[in-house]
Amino acid sequence: MLLKYFYDDALAQASYMVGCQKTGEAAIIDPSRNIDTYFDTAEKEGMTITKVLETHIHADFVSGAREMAERSSATIYYSLEGEGDESGEYKFDSSLPQQGVRDGDQIKLGNVTFDVWHTPGHTPEHITFLLTDGAASDEPLGMFTGDFIFVGDVGRPDLLEKAAGVKDSAKKGAEQMFHSLEKAKEMDPTLQIWPGHGAGSACGKSLGSIPTTTLGYELKTNPALQYNDEKNFTDFLLDEQPVPPAYFAVMKKVNKEGAPLLKDQKTPLRYGSNVKKMDNILEADVTVVDTRSREAYSQSHIPGSINIPYDSSFTNWAGSLISYDKPVYFIASSYTFAEIIEAMNAIGLDKTAGFFTPAIVESFEEEHGTGQYEVISPEDAYEKQNNNELQILDIREDHEYEAEHVENAKHMVINYLPEKGDDLPDKTLALYCGSGARSAIATSILKSKGFDVKNIKGGFMRWKKENLPTASE
């Protein structure tokens, strides 16, 4: 048997290849949309990809199931356990090779067997695949748990309610998760666990960074597996879950039937540093994303653009803050163009229209002038708020704000700024987060809306260090 691990750092998303070396067949579990890496590995190992296994309808990335089925004629195996529940029903095109499965079914891949186990909680249709290498043993070796059990955490049950608007599904999902975990506690503790995500994923609140684990280790160390009382467990699981990125709702719709094929996409164009072209773009209903550092953006930027630095959290923030309904233009270094396109493909932001290099900012400055924003110290912000010269705004998560925040600060989570930011007070705003990184992005969003905005240097950590007044809910 062959087992290969693939990991997308930008989305903290894991996928797997399992192959039978006797027959040369391979299956991909929870593939990402950029499937070339699977083909590369399969060719290297002398395998043909014949099956795609989906643990659930994903919310945090575009599944590559349809892409793989179209390009390799692989059969998609998906859960039928969500039938009757609109949020959990797949609707793949009937022309795709596909096979619905239920709890107790088996999927054969040469000498390899996948046993289907229904594990609702994160979503109603969620299934786990128990892997048995028949050439070595009749006992399962491990399980592909998707968003069921992670290293140090379990899948959050509130996404359907918060991201997709399915009323009362959070509590129901938490109760289902409790019973799924109770069944897991009765299984062989030596089973390996291959989860669908690692640290940094928004599908849980405290995922570990170790790629794999065992059931026995999680039984000892995973906080979610220490509860024997359903109510205490559900209270724990629903507490302090972060606001889901806005794109999760889009992903749930896209992954029900499969994303548009990459071959049908238009290739984003590269534009020069022509200011007239940028002027025309800014007059249209589009989004311009400046991917330079927050320091560079604060000192000089094209008015109307927003700043999402191209770093490890870029994809998450892009999906959270960029509209899926408008063409998107990026200001980025030329060597990152291909990486940005791949990142946008991964979350289904398929309206990438083009790129400008950072030289456009210099050209724009020479012809029109550019925008700036001030980075101020916590002490300066404190004094100015006391003098009614500005309003301090906390853009952190609800649980962060409730635990402790700047005294007299208003609160709006950064994810809500694109749609609800216009409701903020019409006065100078000074923003903060934990360290200053999130608030820099938020500052650019409010600047693009016409607000007079400042970013508080060092965020809440520096505010606390300087012993300035705080409060709690």
Catalytic sites, residue numbers: 433
Going by the DSSP 8-state scheme, the letter that residue 83 receives in this structure is T
Give the dihedral of Cα atoms 115, 119, 125, 130; nearest 10 deg.
-20
What is the spatial distance between Cα 461 and Cα 473, in angstroms, rounded to a whole number? 18
β-strands 306-307, 328-331 pairing:
unpaired
Tell me if 419 sits within 8 A of 396, measured CB to CB: no
Instruction: Show the tokens assigned to 186.
Output: 């009765």
**Sheet strands side by side (includes 112-118):** 106-109, 112-118, 127-133, 142-146, 192-195, 213-214
Characterize the bridge pairing of strands 112-118 and 127-133.
Answer: antiparallel
Residue 310's nearest CA partner among 273, 349, 338, 277 is 338
